[in-house]
């Protein structure tokens, strides 16, 4: 029996896909949403072949009408959304004087504004049923503005504030809001390529467990979702043992 729907917005090939696999394994019908649904077809085929219900949708999380239409369609055609993850964001690293107005706004719009739209829409449906879990992916930049990260840090700081305000308002109404602060490089193809380009380091040559695996992130989200109501975590920071912090 399905436990309902886990809707993952901004579900890319790394964290989003790992969370999709974990929640599908846990009995949820998984709906993955990103700008181009075709990019999620391989994941949907993989889960479907394993007998796990999965669906892909296209959405621009920065567009209010598209977000509202996505939630309405999933609720009408798949089932009640019990879990919602917002995972979108653009890790922009630019010197201050090279950070244009357009770049700054786009970073905020994707990481913070999109999170607000998705979180608000999830709350609208969950409040009617009196329960649900809303998950947000944070980063080191959520709590520390590093050199070159004026745009990204402000966006992630903002998303953290949105999540915190939602948790305080919705917690007493039985909606669990979780902000997962990933203070780490994620063990993914994108990070491997970025490391190679920036420093020439091959990810296969660094010490084991120096990067956080996407499966570990997915397990952290599953843990938070599975908590009893008398012991909820709002914010959880996750990093490898070797990470400096």
Output the pLDDT for position 237: 95
| Nearest Cα to Cα of residue 181 among 117, 233, 108 | 233
Output the pLDDT for position 226: 97
3-state secondary structure of 100: coil
Output the pLDDT for position 71: 98
pLDDT by residue for the chain (245 residues), tens only, comes to 579 999 999 998 999 999 999 999 999 999 999 999 999 999 999 999 999 999 999 999 999 999 999 999 999 999 999 999 999 988 889 999 999 999 999 999 999 999 999 999 999 999 999 999 999 999 999 999 999 999 999 999 999 999 999 999 999 999 999 999 999 888 876 667 566 556 676 667 777 788 999 999 999 999 999 999 999 999 999 999 988 88
Output the pLDDT for position 210: 82
CA distances to 180, 194, 196, 215 from 205, in Å:
28, 15, 11, 21
Distance CA 129, CA 67 (A): 20
Output the pLDDT for position 23: 98
Output the pLDDT for position 201: 67
pTM of the model: 0.93
| Nearest Cα to Cα of residue 153 among 164, 143, 167, 168 | 143
CA dihedral 60, 31, 80, 234 (to 10 degrees): -80
């Amino acid at each position: 029996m399905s436990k309902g729907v886990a809707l993952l917005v901004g579900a890319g090939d790394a964290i989003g896909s790992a969370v999709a696999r974990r929640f599908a394994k846990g009995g949820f019908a998984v709906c993955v949403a990103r700008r181009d649904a075709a990019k999620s077809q391989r994941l949907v085929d993989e889960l479907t072949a394993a007998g796990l219900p999965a669906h892909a949708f296209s959405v621009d999380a920065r567009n209010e009408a598209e977000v509202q239409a996505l939630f309405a369609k999933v609720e009408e055609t798949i089932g009640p959304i019990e879990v919602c993850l917002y995972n979108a964001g653009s890790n922009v690293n630019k010197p201050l004087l090279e950070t244009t107005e357009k770049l700054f706004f786009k970073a905020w719009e994707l990481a913070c504004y999109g999170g607000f739209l998705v979180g608000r829409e999830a709350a609208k449906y969950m409040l009617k049923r009196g329960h649900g879990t809303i998950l947000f992916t944070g980063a080191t930049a959520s709590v520390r503005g590093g050199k070159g990260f004026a745009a990204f840090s402000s966006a992630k700081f903002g998303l953290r504030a949105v999540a915190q305000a939602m948790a305080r308002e919705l917690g007493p109404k039985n909606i669990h809001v979780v902000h997962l602060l990933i203070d780490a490089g994620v063990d993914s193809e994108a990070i491997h390529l970025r490391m190679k380009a920036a420093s020439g380091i091959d990810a296969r040559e660094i010490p084991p467990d120096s990067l956080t695996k996407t499966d570990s992130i997915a397990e952290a989200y599953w843990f938070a979702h599975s908590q009893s109501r008398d012991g909820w975590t709002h914010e959880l920071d996750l990093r490898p043992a070797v990470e400096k912090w």
